[in-house]
Amino acid sequence: MTYPFGAVVGMDDMRLALLLNAVSPAVGGVLVRGEKGTAKSTAVRALAAVLPSVDVVTGCRFACDPAAPDPECPDGPHDPASPATTRPARLVELPVGASEDRVVGALDLERALTEGVKAFEPGLLAAAHRGLLYVDEVNLLHDHLVDLLLDAAAMGRAYVEREGVSVRHAARFLLVGTMNPEEGELRPQLLDRFGLTVEVAAPREAAERAEVVRRRFAHDADPAGFAATWAAEEAALAARIADARARLPRVVLSDAALRQVTTVCAAFDVDGLRADLVTARAAIAHAAWSGREEVTEDDVRVAARLALPHRRRRNPFDAPGLDEETLDQALADSRPDSPDDEPPPDGGPDGGGTPPPSGPTEEGPPEDGHVGQHGPDGRPPTTAPRGEGGPHTDAAPAREKAAVAPSDPFRTRRLEVPGIGAGAAGRRSRARSDRGRVVGSRRPAGPVTRLHLVDTVVAAAPHQRARGRTGPGLHVDRADLRQATLEGREGNLVLFVVDASGSMGARSRMAAVKGAVLSLLLDAYQRRDKVGLVTFRGGDAELALPPTWSVEAAAARLTGLPTGGRTPLAAGLLKAHQTLTLERVRDPRRRPLLVVVTDGRATGARGGDHLGDARRAAGLLAAADVASVVVDCESGPVRLGLAATLGTALRGQTLRLEELGAESLAGTVRSMRGAA
């Protein structure tokens, strides 16, 4: 298991996690997180070379073991005397753009209906049986495909249910996914389904980086010679894996070791019991790998470091991690000689260290007492600070202010793009998709994958006499087949245009604005959207974050956003138009949703028609058919209504800041029902 790129930070953990799964696939797979260029894919592909060879029934498309063939194999039943073949374990790669049929296999519905033949074409799960299934950029794979993969990995079987025909086959494989967190995170419920997770990063030491380059050059110059150099080491590694697999059934997990596992999992407050099961299985695998037949505390420690970082409770934008001190304390508490009444460490009853001060922070007390606070309904405050709400003036340059911490996020109403799209699966706007409810049918352009049975029968019925039908059967031709049309939800590109000028700079107001945008970012994270961030202040606008899958990066940019200066609203809208025009070329099927967060004011150099420029820039976006929502941040007793005017120019929807919450929407609906 050699890597032409050499070692990187975290490579030892990645290597160990892969090997533990090779010893015991029941651990549940590995998720490797790391920045680009850290040899994640290289390490995974190297693992396939050291996996033990497998015996398969000759000619079986589902890699049945001749010693214990699958009784439900679609190519079976297999005769015990069937010839067998020994071959290397397969490495099967699943592309990000794969369809569900490609993953699980597909029934040939055309042959089934016209010839009465049940023909099944196996998918990638069948090809990966008893081998390794690798998904690069697993965070970009559609959620339903990731869930399908993890279900198959957990149950060891794949199921295909279509139009009354059922096919099932064994699908036991070592699942490995790699991802770059900068391109977006996996959903927490999917992240939890991976057995182990590791973080890798490029080395910072010059000598290590030089060794990486040296090995890469050696590999490129003579791949065969490079492989021969490491052949003996790889053979020894393969033999050790085989030996550990043979030892695995004899490894004992004692009651004391099991208590250590459960104590550690409880200490990190993980949800459910999957963490306990995975940690126990990983500890057993580590003991077998280490040549032991009984699980020790060291095995539990190693297993917890790999199985728990992505399962601890955390905020949506927090990266996975594990506190080593908490792990040490949990292991110490679980030892038989550890007193149950041991006093907590200094710093409070919960051992959490010195509590944070409850008074003002270093930045000083808030100007109006509203920073980071919410009203009783959980929404951000809208009370304006003293002196705000009157006509805006630029008689003196606005003082630039440091970044203001956002208030806590809240659950927002769903903002949608009107009409029906055809973009990638998500949870925001209506779209034609391969998953969802049936809304009609059409003639298929290619193979039928989702038959609309009723419309197919209706199309065939008028022609039965002409086709010579005499019995109870239905004569169906290719022209009668109808493909079901489904409607589901798509993910969109949500581009935030945030006013960070002096008119937004009052501390309580900007905290509420940031809290609202953070809430919308959390909503975009849950709805599988791409996001981008444009800010405008001073003399120009800036694309603070190009469209990306990483909602976490957008949240980080937002939190550190400073305020102050004039309000170049037109520049912000023009920057949004430019960004969306380029993105439409790169990703034409993904429809954009523009969210402008502003009070509607527009200021700049003296003598210009700044509001007129903003309206003209808004007209460009409206002409490009960009769906828009203006979040009106104006507050105070005097309101100019400029944000609503901007919303009209954009041909979009205008919402006041306090109307973003889902609770406010529910209250509006209730009042409308009461009036009716």
Residue 220's Cβ-side half-sphere holds a number of Cα atoms within 13 Å equal to: 7
3-state helix, strand, coil in the chain (%, to 5): 40, 20, 45
Determine contact, residues 344/306, Cβ cutoff 8 Å. no
Cis peptide preceding 77, ω within 30 of 0: yes
Alpha-helix residue ranges (DSSP H) falling in 308-430:
324-334
Q: How far is CA 623 from CA 532, 578, 616, in A?
A: 21, 13, 11
CA 477 to chain centre: 43
* Cα 643 from Cα 640, distance rounded (Å): 8
* Cα 482 from Cα 106, distance rounded (Å): 17
Residue 63's Cβ-side half-sphere holds a number of Cα atoms within 13 Å equal to: 24
Tell the residue number behind the tokens 């209906």, with chain if given. 113
Nearest one of 478, 446, 447 to 463, comparing CA atoms: 478
3-state secondary structure of 585: helix
Determine contact, residues 517/485, Cβ cutoff 8 Å. no
| Annotated catalytic residue 274 | yes
Residue 50, C-beta contacts closer than 8 angstroms, at least 6 positions apart? 1, 22, 234, 237, 238, 241
Nearest one of 265, 274, 116 to 194, comparing CA atoms: 274
Q: Nearest 5°: phi and psi at 70?
A: -70, 120
Residues 333-366: b if buried by 16+ CB within 10 A, e if exposed: bbeeeeeeeeeeeeeeeeeeeeeeeeeeeeeeeb
- Kindly state the tokens that stand for 527: 């709805």
* Cα 190 from Cα 619, distance rounded (Å): 42
Determine contact, residues 428/491, Cβ cutoff 8 Å. yes
Q: Nearest 5°: phi and psi at 105?
A: 105, 165
Task: Report the length, in residues, of the chain.
Answer: 676
3-state secondary structure of 216: helix
CA 543 to chain centre: 24
- Kindly state the tokens that stand for 169: 């086959």
* Cα 657 from Cα 625, distance rounded (Å): 24
Alpha-helix residue ranges (DSSP H) falling in 24-141:
40-50, 100-104, 109-114, 124-128
Rg (CA), the chain: 30
* Marked catalytic residue, from 274, 413, 584, 656: 274
Q: Nearest 5°: phi and psi at 325?
A: -65, -40
Q: Which residues are catalytic?
A: 274
